[in-house]
Amino acid sequence: MKKLLVLVVTILLSTASFSQIFDPIKWKSSIKQESEDIYILYFEATLEKGWHLYSQKEVETEEIAPTATEFTYHNPNNDFEFIGETTEPDGIQKFDKVFEMDIKYFEDKAIFSQKIKRLNASVSSIKAEVYFGLCDDEKCLPPDSVEFELNLTKNPVKVTNAVSGMTADDIDKSNALNIGIKGWDVFPKENVKNKSYLKIFILGFLGGLIALLTPCVFPMIPLTVSFFTKGAKNRKKGLVNAILYGFFIFAIYLLLSLPFHLLDSLDPEILNNISTNVTLNIIFFVVFIIFAISFFGYFEITLPASWSNKMDSKATSVGGMVGVFFMALTLALVSFSCTGPILGSLLGGSLSSDGGAIQLSIGMGGFGLALALPFGLFALFPNWLNSLPKSGGWLNAVKVVLGFIELALAFKFLSNADLVEHWGLLRREVFIAIWVIIGIGLALYLFGKIKFPHDSPIQKLSKVRTTLGILIIAFVIYLIPGLTNTVHANLKLLSGFPPPLFYSVYEKEAHGPLGLNAFTDFDKGIAAAKSQKKPIMIDFTGWACVNCRKMEEQVWSNPEITKILKDDYILISLYVDDREKLKEDEQFKYLKPSGNVKSIKTIGDKWATFQTLNFENNSQPYYVLIDSEMNLLNTTTAYTPNENEYLKWLKQGLKNFKK
């Protein structure tokens, strides 16, 4: 069982935001000169108590194993000859209870060394990088890396640290990120809390209810409840087992979200980087297309049969509470072909919104509870089983409808990648047109004009299909103004899903939401504020930020708020997920408080670090009112869907500026 949980953790970590941040290792390097051209490079790792750094020697096994420590050296012109391999200390070799195998690891301190010979006398330094993973007795952190640049010198020993590769220019640019905000004593930092946990729970619960109506789960309800209530020696024991079965279903889905809390505690920007990662969004797009085709009935996605067979055998061979747990796990595995796509939607939506891991746990909890409730309720009231509708063709119709929904959601992930990379493939009107086509296809299916492989013949349209078909047509009609270049193109009900209004096939007067002239460079915005003698609103936003779009299209669109932002403030919109590369001379290395170095290579890298450094916050949207001398004009604020509250906040900032 432990190996299975470790496997789940590892898979989820490999595919994928700000509580305690784990940084339990510090690195430093030194260099010793043995002769004129012979040097020994030393890399020293100091670990906090309880944490393990693993050997360079990989464990040759098909089981889940820790990340081996790996050193790489920059030697493109063959300026150096490496004498032997990188050595490591003896370390500790014993059975590891997390990975259930013999593993070599290091505690407290470990020193690695590499002997080199310099072949090119004109070269004065060598670059190195260490890639490593860390675990304690309860958890593992995702693999990380640290860069070094070691200066070759005739001095016998010269100790440097991981920032030795930073130039004076790097240090200057790092220092420039700190703008020295003043006024925290007057306007304390706001503790930004997510206000939509109930909404996330309800959405997860609704997802679970939908999953109950799929062919993989629905027929299991009467069979399983009957097994517990009629198969047990006494009704009381059967009732307890059925309720326990439901509880384990809930717990299993809740546990699936726990690995993301490890990510949540590692780096203030890590989940934002994952959610806006172009590769990951394209993978989600492809996966959702595959899910949709599967729901249409052209093939079935299932986990390996050996997994479910093994769990099933455990359930029958092990009695009591453990046996009931394995029965619940078997249901989770067997029903994956139906629940997987719905869970995928929940996962993708949580990672691409603020609150990541916590939201995911709440959503998964709601999903698991919805799946679990029927087994407990029908065990308590077995007569209700007679009122359940019989399985039939309607179950397949539910799957096909879900297929159309998965198809629509797939293009949201492709849109995220398109926005971040500025490809221009899915402009707002193109995205909406695709949804219109999908909506028309779904309406035709509901009215029986389109059929899929496993559909039963339709003798007469049911009221449910007719009503749903009419609603879909109404939704398509609602979408159509979004294809135009008019004031009606702002589809407020869908704010956050389509690309922003200014990402359009039509030429817009200003590059910013609602036609506002938003600066996307902080320094240029400050210069404008000084020349125009206006206060500033910093808008920390993201191309793939759903709540940012909701604020722009539902709150900023209020005429009074739009006027204030346009006439009274200098708006600076900083996109923390922008993957556009900075010019080469603008790229630099930033020294993190932990002592490690972060490479600032993209626009998003720069503004995400800027936000974290100056405001100790990394959520989006996040709004700051300041003057051109970096004085706060009001408390900072985040997602504020109440128009009156947001307007009051803006007016108070103006009032404080005029003082």
Tell me the one-letter amino acid at 502.
F
Q: Which residue has the higher pLDDT, 240 or 21?
A: 240
| 28 pLDDT tier (thresholds 50, 70, 90) | confident
Residues 62, 81: Cα–Cα separation, whole Å: 34
Residues 219, 222: Cα–Cα separation, whole Å: 7
Q: Which residue has the higher pLDDT, 538 or 31?
A: 538
pLDDT of residue 443: 93
Helices (H) and strands (E) in the chain, counts: 20, 16
pLDDT of residue 262: 63
pLDDT of residue 218: 65
- Whether residue 319 has pLDDT greater than 80: no
Helices (H), 256-319: 259-264, 270-275, 278-295, 305-317
Q: Which residue has the higher pLDDT, 261 or 200?
A: 200
pLDDT of residue 6: 40
- Whether residue 656 has pLDDT greater than 60: yes
Region 116-127 average pLDDT: 87
Region 267-285 average pLDDT: 66
- Whether residue 462 has pLDDT greater than 50: yes
**Per-residue pLDDT tens for 8-26?**
333 333 333 333 455 788 8
Region 516-523 average pLDDT: 88
Residue 229 CA to its chain's centroid (Å): 42
Region 215-237 average pLDDT: 63
Region 549-571 average pLDDT: 89
pLDDT of residue 59: 54
598 has which bridge partners?
A: 590
pLDDT of residue 537: 95
**Per-residue pLDDT tens for 402-430?**
889 889 888 988 888 888 777 888 888 99
Residues 363, 446: Cα–Cα separation, whole Å: 29
Region 153-173 average pLDDT: 55
Least confident of 122-126, 450-454, 481-485, 488-492: 488-492
Region 626-653 average pLDDT: 91
**Per-residue pLDDT tens for 350-383?**
554 445 567 777 878 888 888 888 877 776 666 6
Structure tokens at 185: 């004593």
Q: Which residue has the higher pLDDT, 5 or 395?
A: 395
pLDDT of residue 340: 63
Region 335-352 average pLDDT: 61
Residues 101, 95: Cα–Cα separation, whole Å: 5
| Beta strand 80-87 pairing with 109-118 | antiparallel
Helices (H), 213-277: 220-231, 235-255, 259-264, 270-275
pLDDT of residue 618: 73
Radius of gyration (C-alpha) of the chain in whole angstroms: 29
Structure tokens at 238: 């059967």
pLDDT of residue 163: 45
Residues 140, 52: Cα–Cα separation, whole Å: 9
| 389 pLDDT tier (thresholds 50, 70, 90) | low
**Per-residue pLDDT tens for 63-95?**
556 788 999 998 888 889 998 889 888 788 877
- Whether residue 164 has pLDDT greater than 50: no
Give me the percent of the chain exceeding a pLDDT of 70: 72
How would DSSP label each residue in 13-66? HHH----PPP--EEEEEEEEE-SSSEEEEEEEEEE-TT-EEE-SSPP-SSS--P
| Beta strand 140-151 pairing with 125-135 | antiparallel
| pLDDT, averaged across the chain | 77
The SS3 assignment for 657 reads helix
Region 313-324 average pLDDT: 59
